[in-house]
């Protein structure tokens, strides 16, 4: 499955989502922002990026793994967001588990994942998140 710019903008253009991310994440999130992001992913400029999809093909969120460099080469930064309408359903938890397992399996990560987003407190591939947690 591949995320479309329209689907990405739909879940990303949300103040509650934006306030939990780095300042570089734009709000409002325009269709041009979505196109630029997806182009950067395709060009390998964003690290390892996954789309989170329901079994129906609906985009739920995005998660990325950026391996460290030099002395930080055995650690990584994880960034993610989930559309507000999908909060509190366990999708981010499942995505973090899967990306952590992937990183360890592929040898990208030996020490720890540095989780940079405290979101919702209450290879470029996509993976499927089961929509019945």
Per run of 10 residues, the mean pLDDT along the chain (length 133 residues) is 91 93 92 94 86 90 82 76 92 80 56 38 35 38
The pLDDT value given to residue 129: 38
The pLDDT value given to residue 106: 55
Domain residue ranges of the chain, discontinuous segments joined by +: 5-128
CATH number of 5-128: 3.40.630.30
Which residues 6+ apart lie within 8 Å of 105 measured at CB? none
The pLDDT value given to residue 30: 97
How many Cβ atoms sit within 10 Å of the Cβ of residue 32?
11
Which residues 6+ apart lie within 8 Å of 94 measured at CB? 129, 130, 133
The pLDDT value given to residue 78: 79
The pLDDT value given to residue 104: 57
């Amino acid at each position: 499955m591949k995320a479309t710019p329209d689907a990405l903008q739909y879940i990303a253009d949300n103040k509650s989502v934006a306030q939990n991310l780095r300042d570089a994440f734009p709000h409002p999130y325009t269709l041009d922002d979505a196109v630029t992001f997806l182009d950067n992913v395709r060009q390998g400029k964003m690290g390892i990026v996954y789309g989170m999809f329901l079994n129906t093909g609906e985009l739920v969120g995005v998660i990325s793994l950026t391996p460290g460099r030099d002395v930080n080469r055995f650690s990584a930064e994880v960034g993610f967001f989930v559309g507000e309408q999908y909060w509190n359903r366990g999708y981010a938890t499942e995505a973090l588990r899967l990306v952590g397992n992937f990183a360890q399996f592929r040898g990208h990560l030996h020490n720890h994942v540095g989780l940079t987003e405290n979101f919702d407190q209450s290879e470029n591939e996509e993976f499927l998140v089961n929509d019945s947690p």
